């Protein structure tokens, strides 16, 4: 665990317009102007998140993440659907035939398709506000 020496930005990084606390969506360290995480670090965070469905590293999945809609590092913190997560050592490709994790297309989104193999009552949308 580490602590960032980055300050919370008070201006938008592209327009220099003032922003309030609720508009902060950045992975940028304000002091240095550099990202505080690398692309591979971002993928590792995603692998840890979608892998949290296992109680132990090699155990069976106890629940499955069907869809991720989160602030996307690759889009400068913009809310975005994460379609897949690459395996360790690979880079992101929407067309990756064998990713570490892939969204269940028919179950993705705030409105679930009738083609989703799970009943709506069996699914749960989980939100987190730090």
99-115 confidence digits (pLDDT tens)? 999 999 999 988 888 99
- Tens of pLDDT, residue by residue over 10-60, are 776 557 778 765 555 556 565 556 667 778 888 888 988 888 766 666 666
Cβ atoms of residues 56 and 69 within 8 Å:
no
Position 130 scores a pLDDT of 56
- Give Rg (Cα) of the chain: 17
Predicted pLDDT of residue 64: 81
pLDDT of residue 27: 60
The two beta strands, 78-82 and 68-72, are: antiparallel
> Which sequence spans correspond to the domains of the chain?
37-122
Res. 88 pLDDT band, cuts 50 70 90: confident
pTM to 2 decimal places: 0.65
Contact by Cβ (8 Å): 105, 86:
no
The encoded tokens of residue 61 equal: 């999945």
The 3-state secondary structure of 57-116, one letter per residue: CCCCECCCCCCEEEEEHHHCCEEEEECEECCCCCCCCCCCCCCCEECCHHHCCCCCCCCC
Instruction: Write the burial class of residue 85 (CB in 10 Å: 0-12 exposed, 13-18 middle, 19+ buried).
Output: buried
């Amino acid at each position: 665990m580490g602590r960032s020496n980055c300050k919370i930005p008070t201006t938008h990084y592209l327009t220099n317009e003032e922003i309030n606390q609720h508009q902060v969506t950045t992975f940028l360290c304000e002091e240095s102007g550099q990202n505080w995480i690398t692309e591979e670090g971002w993928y590792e965070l995603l692998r840890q998140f979608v892998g949290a469905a296992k109680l132990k590293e090699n155990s069976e999945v106890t629940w499955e993440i069907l869809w991720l809609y989160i602030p996307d590092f690759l889009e400068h913190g913009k809310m975005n659907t994460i379609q897949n997560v690459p395996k360790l050592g690979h880079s992101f490709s929407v067309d990756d035939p064998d990713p570490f994790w892939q969204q269940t297309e028919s179950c993705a989104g705030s409105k679930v398709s009738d083609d989703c193999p799970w009943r709506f009552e069996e699914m749960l949308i989980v939100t987190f506000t730090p």
